[in-house]
Amino acid sequence: MAQTRTAPGAQEFVPPRAKSLTALRTAAASCEGCDLYADANQTVFGRGAAHARVVMVGEQPGDVEDREGLPFVGPAGRVLRRAVDDAGLEPGQLYLTNAVKHFRHTMRGKRRLHQTPDQVHIVACRPWLVAEFAVLHPEVVVVLGAIAAKALLGPAFRVTRDRGVLLPWPESAQRPEDFTRPSTTANGPVEPTRLLATIHPSAVLRSDNREDAYAGLVADLTVAAGALT
């Protein structure tokens, strides 16, 4: 697959003033903001409740996710579900999404092999993340891996350097003004949102020492669980 150097971006497909994740999901199904839609089966949008306390942002859907239309249902998703349980997070408190909503891949025979999205794909798809966060107001944002970190925190952020550390959100974002959260509600003041970066669960599967890599992922997610008020 040839690399795309420019892309129109998703902004023209994001419905203005969308009030629900359902409306965003429906609109995203027809997104052609970059070239990835042409070779993917479908858009894989986020899943979970709008009132989720934790939002987890990964890289992109994989082969299984592209076929089923849901994020984190493949091998990496199974690792993440186990780590979530071991860290003491409630699955019902989570919203799962990806920085890039289409599966980028290359063909090897009949197999579709994962291919890392380019910066142009990350930038083109970013309006969907911004739109999701306009509906979601989590207590904790968990960034899974380098691609998600680039999308939210900018190319200078290094997961290997700053993983497992709670940061203020949206102040830590590349453009904080894109993301807002109410400071008060009818029930009183709202606790500040925080962000934590960790490895993508697929990194556990690629690791030479899966046990240690998995333990590190669980340790980071335990920090996120402890940050819930």
- pLDDT, residue 5, reads 59
d(CA 126, CA 179): 12
Q: Residue 40 pLDDT more than 70?
A: yes
Q: Say how many Å lie between the first and final Cα of the chain, rounded.
A: 46
pTM for the predicted model, two decimal places: 0.94
- pLDDT, residue 42, reads 98
Q: 152: Cβ–Cβ under 8 A, 6 or more apart, which residues?
A: 57, 99, 129, 141, 143, 173, 174, 195
184 vs 192: which has the higher pLDDT: 192
Lowest-confidence segment of 29-43, 117-131, 179-193 by average pLDDT: 179-193
pLDDT tier at 187, thresholds 50, 70, 90: confident
- pLDDT > 90 fraction of the chain, expressed in percent and rounded: 87
